[in-house]
Amino acid sequence: MPLWYLLCNKHIVKFEFIITIVTQKNLQSYIPALTGVRALAAYLVFISHFEYVFDGNFPHAVQRFLQEFHMGVTIFFVLSGFLITYRYYNNFHLTKDWFKQYLKNRVARIYPMYFLLTVLAFVYYYVTHDEKITKGFPSVPGLLLMHVTFVRGFFANLWDTGIAQGWSLTVEECFYFSAPFVFLINKKYRQFYTQPLVLTGAGLLLVVIFRNVNWYGFFGNFTFTMIYTFLGRCFEFFVGIQLALILLNKGIERTNKIKYTYLGFLLMMVCVGIMSQLAIPKGWMAGLHNPFGIITNNYLLPPCIAMFFYGLLTESTVFKTILSFKFVELLGKSSYIFYLIHLGYIRDFLNDWINKANDWIFEYYDAHGMSWEHSPFENDIINLIIQFVLLNALSILLFKTIEEPMNHYIRKSNFLIKNKPRNQENESALIK
């Protein structure tokens, strides 16, 4: 046998051994538990928006606690920081083609369903004239343009127009655009946590400049900026980035037996408890809007969430088992749509349908001389559960028929950059 063949074969075997060891030490490219986390985060936000349903049946303290489950949004942001970094940090090249491909992937993941549901929201406005959509903005076409370009999220008077919860997508898009530059600055200049300080400082400076300018609340006040803009919430993404950098450098091998999954989750609930005890400022909706609530949500909660994620990635726990179930994984994949429709015109339609069903039942009772005192749709908690189930069913349907096919279509198209056939890395765990 030729010497060159033996030498080459020896090096090939050695190389394959090294690859095997590296793979064992690092995470797999797709993490089912993190897809399941998306569903958990979306459901927490859902509960936070309908916590008043529980107020008549439980102590008021329970309602206040559930009111602070907006923490699901913080989970989204930390998860985005982690996943984008874990996928791109070691292979990004800030070239024109790389950036086009990067943006193409982000558009494929985020934009189709957001655009469709936003346009339908404004169609709904033209039919019903529901002021929740426009909040009195004088130019409806102009407002629609601000929505489909994500810029409405910079205006305190407009952030909750259209699909109200879509404000968080403006925050996400700002992170997507800035992430490659964050990576570059960290690699080239070794500056990491100075970046969120600079970004937050820039946000506060914009408030000082524009708070007295009558421009629909553009960076209109400190509370809005710290809660509803990327400049105020950038630290959450940086915590996710830091977690990814730790795992990229050290892998998933552990030297201790601390159950970070349970510890992180417990500390997350402690943060929620703190916010639930804070006074709600006049004109706002939760303890989150209290200055101490902002500190708790934006700076204390994210490390707890990162600890929870670290546990999910490195431990075998009940949380990881449940979040990795195939059905929970499907709920996670469709949770972006659930998040977009759990408030607004679709949820209102479901609520109206349930109210009509309630009327039909009482009409049936009257028509047949029945003396039933209650309808099964009179219980608010049961109604909420019904809506929750229907919203999930619709989300799965839209995911399978529109979101997933459009995602694949855009990735395979020549949008922004000519498609180069290759094995696409599974991004199902990526948020929103």
Express each pLDDT in 110-153 by its tens digit: 999 999 999 999 999 999 999 999 999 999 999 999 999 999 99
Asked if residue 77 belongs to a domain, the reply is yes
pLDDT at 35 over 80: yes
Asked if residue 96 belongs to a domain, the reply is yes
State the average pLDDT over residues 353-376: 74
pLDDT at 102 over 80: yes
Domain count of the fold of the chain: 1
Per-residue pLDDT tens over the stretch 299-332: 999 999 999 999 999 999 999 999 999 999 999 9
Q: How many whole angstroms separate alpha carbon 9 and alpha carbon 116?
A: 54
State the average pLDDT over residues 340-359: 88
Categorize the per-residue pLDDT at 427 as very low, low, confident or very high, splitting at 50, 70 and 90: very low
Asked if residue 159 belongs to a domain, the reply is yes
- Contact, 428 vs 333, CB < 8 A? yes
Q: How many whole angstroms separate alpha carbon 390 and alpha carbon 265?
A: 28
Query: What does the pLDDT read at residue 419?
Result: 85
Asked if residue 364 belongs to a domain, the reply is no
Asked if residue 8 belongs to a domain, the reply is no
Categorize the per-residue pLDDT at 94 as very low, low, confident or very high, splitting at 50, 70 and 90: confident
Categorize the per-residue pLDDT at 364 as very low, low, confident or very high, splitting at 50, 70 and 90: confident
CB burial of 368-394 (b: ≥16 within 10 Å; e: otherwise) equals: eeeeeeeeebeeeeebbebbbeebbeb
Query: What does the pLDDT read at residue 372?
Result: 60
Q: Does the pTM of the predicted model rise above 0.85?
A: yes
Asked if residue 292 belongs to a domain, the reply is yes
Q: How many whole angstroms separate alpha carbon 428 and alpha carbon 286?
A: 32
Categorize the per-residue pLDDT at 16 as very low, low, confident or very high, splitting at 50, 70 and 90: very low
Asked if residue 172 belongs to a domain, the reply is yes
What backbone phi and psi angles, to 5 degrees, belong to 155? -115, 120
Q: How many residues does the chain have?
A: 432
Residue 14 burial (CB count, 10 A): 10
More confident residue, 47 or 6: 47
pLDDT at 229 over 60: yes
pLDDT at 37 over 80: yes
Categorize the per-residue pLDDT at 377 as very low, low, confident or very high, splitting at 50, 70 and 90: low
Asked if residue 423 belongs to a domain, the reply is no
Q: Which domain holds residue 248?
A: 37-343+379-412
